[in-house]
């Protein structure tokens, strides 16, 4: 028992019965069900986090594609106006460029602040109710 007691973790206070270092066996049915519940909850939580990451990535990509298209579209209108292919009123240009720029910064801010916020949700919050 001396060799095995030196290999045990620090949190183990005492050992009842023989300890086999190859595998863990539950002492009671409740202990086994608790381990199973925890395993299932962690597995489901991991799947949920992976799905959320995929959805966030997809939404982020589409938002930035739309932002890029808006900027390219405004730049194209300004270039077409400069080449005299398209004639735009100066008041429209004065309103168009700042409004699109504001929208681009606003959407970027929303994506960064709310879509990619750090997760501080406790995965096993139902255990707190016990």
C-alpha–C-alpha distance, residues 43 and 1, integer Å: 35
Q: Take residue 112 and report the two structure tokens written for it.
A: 């960064």
C-alpha–C-alpha distance, residues 97 and 111, integer Å: 21
The reply to whether 10 falls in a domain is: no
The reply to whether 70 falls in a domain is: yes
pTM for this prediction? 0.60
Q: Take residue 117 and report the two structure tokens written for it.
A: 């916020």
Q: What phi and psi values does residue 18 have, to the nearest 5 degrees? A: -80, 140
The reply to whether 124 falls in a domain is: yes
Domain count, the chain: 1
Q: Residue 78: which domain range?
A: 28-129
Q: Take residue 7 and report the two structure tokens written for it.
A: 């290999």
Residue 109 DSSP one-character state = H
pLDDT (tens digit, 9 = 90+) per residue, 84-123? 998 989 898 889 889 998 999 998 888 888 777 666 555 5
pLDDT (tens digit, 9 = 90+) per residue, 19-64? 556 667 788 888 889 889 999 999 999 999 899 889 888 988 998 8
């Amino acid at each position: 028992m001396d060799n095995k007691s030196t290999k045990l973790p620090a949190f183990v206070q005492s050992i009842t019965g023989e300890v086999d270092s190859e595998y863990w066996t539950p002492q009671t049915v409740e202990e086994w069900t608790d381990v199973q519940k925890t395993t299932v909850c962690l597995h489901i939580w991991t799947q949920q986090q992976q799905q959320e990451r995929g959805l966030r990535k997809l939404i982020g990509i589409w938002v930035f594609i739309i932002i890029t298209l808006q900027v390219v579209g405004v730049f194209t209108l300004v270039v077409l106006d400069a080449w005299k292919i398209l004639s735009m009123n100066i008041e429209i240009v004065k309103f168009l460029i700042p409004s699109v720029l504001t929208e681009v910064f606003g959407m970027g801010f929303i994506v960064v602040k709310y879509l990619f916020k750090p997760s501080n949700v406790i995965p096993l919050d139902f255990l707190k109710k016990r």
